[in-house]
């Protein structure tokens, strides 16, 4: 039997995580679900430590790492995050458990099994995260994304703010920016490189050819084979289709 605390600011995500845990581990007890740093601090001040806690990293009132600075957290923690794969590699290096949203059943089961395996052997060994681990991951999470891109136009150099960008796209082995004033500029970056430079809350790679800005979307239309077709505020030369395997993540991103 496990007593579990969930810290998650999205109601649907919190409910889904609870359902998944109870489905995989029926004997588990969800002690509570809290939705902010402030409510988590109050919870830890008034309650005994849970056996295990799930921390969403990016909460409405800040990063959940702040909880470790202001409260005694002596329980094992599994982080949940919508952060990109590059930061997740650092989580592995720093030996911090994480789950990438949308959470997968098998990954959830593996993470809890890992917790059970470790702490059943050393029940008195508290899972206090080292300050170095927290600092390393915090640095990654607070890194600055690109706010401007510099492009060459003939003999001139132009700086384009990300808020003026509708999308990035690839065409004939080159990458381009399309701006809100319907201008197109060739870039030196590949779409794969751009994914690491762009804020994932503002941009989403919908298929192999397009990375779309959230603010650029004018309409979303159901398309064949469970896909979605996007209309941007400015037209593009070809239809923009959300790949079927990305539809679920795209819908979550829109939320």
Q: Phi, psi at residue 236, to the nearest 5°?
A: -115, 165
Closest by CA to 181, choosing from 166, 171, 169, is 166
Give the C-alpha separation, 64 to 30, whole Å: 19
pLDDT of res. 128: 47
Segments in 55-163 forming alpha helices (H): 66-70, 85-93, 105-121, 131-141
The two structure tokens encoding residue 212: 């779309």
- What's the CA dihedral at 63, 87, 150, 237 to 10 degrees? -100
**Helices and strands (H, E) in the chain, number of each type:** 8, 17
pLDDT of res. 4: 96
Beta bridge partner(s), residue 112: none
Higher pLDDT, 136 or 30: 30
Compute the Cα dihedral for 102, 198, 233, 238 and give only its sign.
negative
Please give the CATH number for the structural domain made up of 148-254. 2.40.50.1020
Average pLDDT for the chain: 82
pLDDT of res. 149: 85
Give the C-alpha separation, 149 to 147, whole Å: 7
pLDDT tens, position by position, 84-129: 544 554 454 333 467 777 788 888 888 888 888 776 654 444 444 5
The answer to whether 160 and 148 are in contact (CB under 8 A) is yes
Residues 6+ apart with CB under 8 A from 147: 161, 162
pLDDT tens, position by position, 145-193: 788 888 888 877 888 999 999 999 998 889 999 998 889 999 888 898 8
The answer to whether 13 and 63 are in contact (CB under 8 A) is no
The two structure tokens encoding residue 108: 């959830």
Closest by CA to 160, choosing from 151, 152, 170, is 151
Averaged pLDDT, 213-220:
91
Full-model pTM? 0.50
The domain spans of the chain are 3-141, 148-254
Higher pLDDT, 213 or 142: 213
Report in angstroms the alpha-carbon separations of 255 from 214, 231, 238, 248, 249.
11, 18, 26, 11, 10
pLDDT confidence tier of residue 64, bands split at 50, 70 and 90: confident
> Other CB atoms closer than 10 Å to residue 111's CB: what's the count?
19
The CATH number of 3-141, from 2.30.40.10, 3.30.450.370, 3.40.50.2300, 3.30.300.30, is 3.40.50.2300
Which region among 22-26, 187-191, 206-210 has the lowest average model confidence (pLDDT)? 187-191
pLDDT of 139 above 80 = no
pLDDT of res. 124: 45
pLDDT tens, position by position, 180-202: 888 999 988 889 888 888 888 89
Residues 6+ apart with CB under 8 A from 133: 94, 95, 96
- Say whether 72 sits in a helix, a strand or coil: coil
Residue percentage of the chain with pLDDT more than 90: 34
């Amino acid at each position: 039997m496990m007593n579990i605390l969930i810290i998650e600011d999205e109601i649907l995500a919190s409910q889904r995580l609870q359902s998944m845990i109870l489905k995989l581990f029926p004997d588990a007890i969800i002690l509570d679900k809290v939705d902010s740093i402030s409510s988590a601090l109050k919870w830890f001040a008034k309650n005994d430590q849970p056996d295990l806690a799930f921390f969403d990293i990016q909460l409405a009132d800040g990063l959940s790492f702040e909880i470790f600075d202001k409260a005694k957290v002596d329980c094992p923690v599994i982080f949940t995050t919508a952060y990109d794969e590059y930061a997740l590699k650092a989580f592995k290096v720093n030996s911090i458990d994480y789950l990438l949203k949308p959470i997968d059943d098998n990954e959830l089961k593996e993470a809890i099994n890992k917790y059970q395996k470790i702490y059943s052997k050393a029940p008195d060994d508290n899972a206090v995260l080292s300050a170095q681990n927290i600092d390393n991951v915090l640095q990654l999470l607070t890194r600055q994304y690109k706010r401007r891109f510099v492009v060459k136009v003939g003999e001139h150099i132009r700086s384009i703010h990300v808020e003026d960008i509708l999308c990035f796209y690839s065409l004939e082995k080159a990458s381009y920016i399309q701006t809100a004033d319907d201008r197109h500029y060739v870039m030196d970056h590949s779409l794969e490189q751009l994914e690491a430079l762009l804020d994932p809350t503002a941009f989403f790679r919908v298929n192999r050819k397009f990375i779309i800005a959230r603010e650029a979307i004018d309409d979303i239309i159901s398309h064949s084979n469970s896909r979605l077709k996007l209309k941007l505020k400015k037209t593009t030369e070809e239809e923009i289709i959300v790949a079927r395997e990305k539809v679920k993540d795209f819908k979550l991103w829109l939320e």
